[in-house]
A = this chain, B = another copy of it.
């Protein structure tokens, strides 16, 4: 049992991405406005006035036995009303939220989770498991459910319960956030090394439930591969798998819960694989004439066996937006790391391969732990800016923008066409719907057999109409994406927003089977209704 007290974060801002303390300062916000005005014209920019929220009155209250675990305060309910998609941000910051959970429950143990689920099942109340609430796909939207809703907040269960240094694994409660679990692993000189963009706010349970993807673009990218076992509480009882490094005993029980998005039960803890802190690290930026050239080089790199620790590709527009280029060339950011051996030779071999594929290699930076007194290198800086992006989005929303991202994955044989056709369809939809806008693409994850493209849209929106505008763009993009053989989501999950395309993507018989599984674990259908099945 690790007993270190956790750092106290700045309070959460109920209508913003994250904490009050980390929001953009006024000068930063003004700079954002200036940049947008330069790009889209002064007249396209407007200031969001701030929203009024009038949540429905609570329709249910807890039984006495659970009263101490439950809150019905307006701000608490607002904090658990929606996730953090662009549509959610528009509601939170402009148009107002009308529907929230009727109560927020904060069980502290699996037994208390069981008690809350028992109450919900008996009373016919929907239960939405809620960790960081960072869903960008409508995965925690109380307004998406007919009838009363309990938001089951897991963050009260935020501990690393056990660390097995021999096996480099840890038993982590579902409600531990990224910084929370990392701070509890640090005394053991271990790290989970899993950094989704929501890292600061999101929780282990949410990562498992949504098959989250991390900042590292190569090797084991999804949480799936870091999970040794999962403990869950369902309306039908407990589901705990045996902790194993590998097994061939029937279909994997964990793989049923991975991606279950709260529709089968509440994940309460998991044994996860952790790592030594990397000692040797290095990286480089490589530029290419175009995105196509960069994709070709990326494919060769991830098929080479050179095994970079990280590798992302930004198209020229994405490179410009993120400050990594002047907008004329595509940029690849490559990282190497090892707990044991220097990475110089690996980086040199990668640089040679990338140069052979038309890359212009910038400075190669090497950093060992012993050299880190300067506090970091460019890849750290990039990670920080990556984690900072959602705060920036708040400012873009406040300046009247439609600003959203979506992602996919496809095999290499389809990827180039998919990217260009999705880009074209999205650009056409943006111009149709918003008059003008930017559509950029980067590759966030790369595999020997394919890669995950990630698109960003920034376009001037209309007051009161932005959610509908985005829905129209998303529709156009998703149709092409599915037609081109991609997945409707590589790591954002399905939620309520992706259901139409998810239903077409998955095998029909699997959908029926998943419904049968839900009927077993959740016979009255109270768990996150509308998500995945039903």
Q: A236-B509, A253-B510, A513-B521 are in contact. Are A212 and B409 (CB under 8 A)?
A: no
Q: Which residues of B contact A498 (CB under 8 A)?
A: 249
- Residue contact B517 to A243, C-beta cutoff 8 Å: no
Q: Contacts A228-B449, A239-B509, A520-B509: A244 and B340 contacting too (C-beta < 8 A)? A: no
**Contact A510 B241, CB 8 Å, known A251-B259, A520-B516:** yes
Pairs A-B, 10 closest by C-beta atoms = A245-B450, A255-B255, A516-B516, A211-B248, A167-B411, A247-B487, A253-B510, A167-B412, A251-B259, A245-B447
A514 contact set on B, CB distance < 8 A: 250-251
Q: Are B340 and A306 in contact, CB atoms less than 8 angstroms apart?
A: yes
Residues of B within 8 A of A276 (CB): 303
Please tell me the size bucket of the interface on A: 35 or more
A367 on interface, CB distance cutoff 8 Å: no
Chain B, residue nearest A501 (CB): B249
Contact between chains at B250 and A509 (CB < 8 Å): no
For the complex with contacts A164-B411, A513-B516, A513-B517, 8 further pairs of A-B residues with Cβ separation under 8 Å are A166-B299, A167-B448, A169-B411, A211-B247, A238-B509, A245-B449, A248-B487, A251-B259
Number of chain copies forming the complex:
2
Decide if A445 is an interface residue (CB 8 Å cutoff).
yes
- Given A242-B485, A245-B449, A338 and B510 contact (CB-CB distance below 8 Å): no
**How does the 8 Å CB contact mask read for A479-504 relative to B, with 1 for contact and 0 for none?**
00000011111111110001000100
Residues of A within 8 A of B (CB): 164, 166-169, 210-213, 221-222, 224, 228, 234, 236-253, 255-261, 273, 275-276, 299, 303-307, 337-341, 345, 349, 353, 409-413, 445, 447-452, 485-494, 498, 502, 505-510, 512-514, 516-517, 519-521, 532
Q: How far is the CB of A136 from chain B (nearest CB, A)?
A: 12
Cβ contact within 8 Å between A248 and B228: no
A488 to B259, CA, bound (A): 26
If the complex has contacts A341-B306, A341-B349, are A413 and B166 also in contact, measured as CB distance less than 8 A?
yes
Q: How far is the CB of A519 from chain B (nearest CB, A)?
A: 7
Is there an interface contact between A493 and B248, defined as CB atoms closer than 8 Å?
yes
B253 touches A506 (CB 8 A): yes
Q: Is the CB of A506 within 8 A of B410?
A: no
Among A222, A246, A506, A521, max chain B CB count under 10 A is at A246
User: Does A490 lie within 8 Å of B259, measured CB to CB?
Assistant: no
**Contact yes or no, B305 A242, CB < 8 A:** no
Q: With contacts A246-B409, A413-B167, A510-B239 known, is A449 near B273, CB below 8 A?
A: yes
Q: Are A246 and B259 in contact (CB under 8 A)?
A: no
Q: State whether B234 touches A248 (Cβ < 8 A).
A: no
A212 and B248 in contact, given A168-B448, A411-B164, A510-B253 (Cβ under 8 angstroms): yes
Chain B residues, Cβ within 8 Å of A237: 508-509
Q: Check if A222 sits within 8 Å of B245, measured CB to CB.
A: no
Assuming A237-B509, A304-B339, A520-B509, is B488 touching A249 (CB within 8 A)? yes
Q: Are B412 and A166 in contact (CB under 8 A)?
A: yes
Partner of A244, one of B221, B249, B410: B410
A339 to B513, CA, bound (A): 41
Closest chain B residue to A519, Cβ basis: B516
How far is it, in angstroms, between the C-alpha of A137 and the C-alpha of B304 when the chains are bound?
A: 38
Contacts of A245 in B (CB 8 A): 409-412, 447-452
